[in-house]
Amino acid sequence: MTALMFIGVAAIGYLLGSIPFGVIISRRFAKTDVREVGSGKTGMTNVLRAAGKKAAAVSLLLDIGKGAAAVGIAGLIFRDKTDTVAAVLTMNQSAKILAGFAAIAGHNWSVFLKFKGGRGVATFMGGLAALYWPAALIGAIFLFGIGFRTKYMSLGSIIGAVTAFILLMSFYVAKIDFILPYPPFEYVLYAMFGAIFIYVMHRDNILRLFNGTERKIGEKAKAKISPSINTPK
């Protein structure tokens, strides 16, 4: 029964993550298919190119929301499912991070888009916000601060994710209660593997950053799909 519940949590997370808000919003705001613009990805940065600032903001919030919703639903499903407090907490936390990763997978390889999508940054941050929002907030500050300051959202995404992980690890190791009680180890794992995953998903952006060919925020998009140029989330 417990195994089926974990499978169900993963399926729910994946399906929520698979909802292609970037495609829906870009069509709604600009009658444009975001997959045919710029990098062809479905995240905020490419929606910004395809449909403008308002569409990008709505897409970002919805992509964050589906990550948070996946984690929240998992927490509800695994609430009070065992006789001991320790077991409840462990299963609840494990279910949450499973749902969070499933949502990221759904966003990046959506069943509704022939297993294509974005890079999972916003969905990762949404899941982290539902797990331990102070780390997500500070990570997002670095993400957008560096992204808009340098005009390279790919760079901001990587640094934001790594910052969130370092904060969580620091709170856990030092047993620091920062607004909330210090995070459990499961949340640290979520942030660590999420940061690694985001780095891997941006490896082509990293090469272009070193080569000086990475597209900046605000550069005019081309209607022709090319290899990923900036970081959709």
Can you say whether residue 80 is alpha, beta or left, with left for phi > 0 and alpha for psi between -120 and 50 degrees? left
pLDDT score, position 226: 44
For residues 94 and 215, the model is more confident at 94
Inter-residue contact 98 to 157 (CB < 8 Å): no
Range 40-69 average pLDDT: 94
| Residue 84 reports pLDDT greater than 80 | no
Q: What are the sequence ranges of the domains in the chain? A: 2-211
Inter-residue contact 115 to 14 (CB < 8 Å): no
- State the number of CA atoms in the 13 A half-sphere of 193 facing the CB: 13
| Whether this model's pTM surpasses 0.85 | yes
pLDDT score, position 80: 67
Residue 169 CB burial class (10 angstroms; 0-12, 13-18, ≥19): middle
| Residue 224 confidence class, pLDDT cut points 50, 70, 90 | very low
